[in-house]
Amino acid sequence: MAIFRRGLSKTRQSFFGRISQMLGNTEIDDDTWDDMETLLIQADVGFDTTVRVIDSLQDRVRAEGMTKSAQLQGALQETLSSLLAFPPALDISGRELSIILVVGVNGSGKTTSIAKLAHRLQNLSRRRVMIAAGDTFRAAAIEQLQTWGSRIDVPVVANRPGSDPGAVVYDATVAAKARGYEILLIDTAGRLQNNYNLMRELTKISEVSGKVVPGAPHEVLLVLDGTTGQNAIQQAKKFQEASGVTGVIVTKLDSTAKGGMVFSIFNDLQLPVHYLGLGESIDDLVLFTPEFFVESLFEEEDEDEA
């Protein structure tokens, strides 16, 4: 909970934490709803989701005969919570080897998130984890993953820069299976200049892993850069078309006030958020917990804490 509060402090301080001050305690009128709408849009909750939240709050105000704006804060908190389904556990149990494909645009935080996730799964879930360096586009991308791998003691299967990512994924899948690894995380390149190429590459990687392990990939995690707010939602739609995304990791929420975009992922994309990136170090990937998330957005008195 403390890590949520700290990680979400920018979004809280800019928006949600100021709601009571903004609403004041007057009669609920059109201005109240305008202010609320402005707040939600500015926090990157997104237009459709904002409309849905306001409609639902207005219904409630009518049904319960609320008259004072101060009553709205609790109601808003509950309405926002109701948008967040509890995400299912990652589909990584009940088989010898589970394969998780990680996709997203360049710079969104894929490689860092893979290292953090590998570390989590190895240390908290006690699973044997391997990583495939499927982003073969840049030498630096491969080296970055190898550096993380040796730091967290997770093997990384890689090939030369510029080599076929399908071949790397094939080698890694065969190696993981032969050596009794339970989870293989696959890093990918995120070039989005051409949706068709991206789709082809991701489809191919999926097919290659599925040839060695029937049903793979078992999860396709989309990494979204939280600092890009609603733009990330538009990007996500392309990846949904291209690669059968099953869930989302939102990164960099520690450095943005656009944390409202998380509601949009559940509501507009109908995808579960599994993890949040709340910093650059290896332990800064937290399991998404709806109630902690919403409470952290509204909790006000944290600035004095150590």
Ligand X SMILES: Nc1nc2c(ncn2[C@@H]2O[C@H](COP(=O)(O)OP(=O)(O)O)[C@@H](O)[C@H]2O)c(=O)[nH]1
Binding site for Mg ion (CB under 5 A): 110-111, 141
Nearer to ligand X by Cβ, of 17 and 279: the residue is: 279
Shortest Å, Cβ 135 to Mg ion? 5
Nearer to Mg ion by Cβ, of 8 and 249: the residue is: 249
Query: What is the rounded distance in angstroms from the CA atom of residue 82 to the CA atom of residue 84?
Result: 5
DSSP letter (8 states) at residue 196: H
Binding pattern for the stretch 10-29 against ligand X, x by CB under 6 A and - elsewhere: --------------------
Helix residue ranges per DSSP H, the chain = 2-7, 9-14, 19-23, 30-42, 47-64, 72-83, 110-123, 139-152, 165-178, 195-212, 230-243, 261-267, 290-298
Shortest Å, Cβ 250 to Mg ion? 16
The answer to whether residues 98 and 92 touch, using CB atoms and an 8 Å cutoff, is: yes
Residue 112 lies near ligand X (rule: CB under 6 A): yes
Q: Quick one: which segment of 78-86, 248-256, 263-271, 295-303 binds ligand X (CB under 6 A)?
A: 248-256
Query: What is the rounded distance in angstroms from the CA atom of residue 144 to the CA atom of residue 155?
Result: 13
Q: Quick one: which segment of 56-64, 69-77, 272-280, 296-304 binds ligand X (CB under 6 A)?
A: 272-280
Binding pattern for the stretch 282-301 against ligand X, x by CB under 6 A and - elsewhere: --x-----------------
| Residue, CB closest to Mg ion | 111
Query: What is the rounded distance in angstroms from the CA atom of residue 297 to the CA atom of residue 278?
Result: 14
A 10 A CB-CB count for 287 gives 14
Q: Which residue of 24, 107, 180, 215 would you call a contact of ligand X, by CB under 6 A?
A: 107
**Residues 221-240 contacting ligand X, CB under 6 A:** 223
Tokens (6 digits) for 223? 């990494």
Shortest Å, Cβ 74 to ligand X? 30
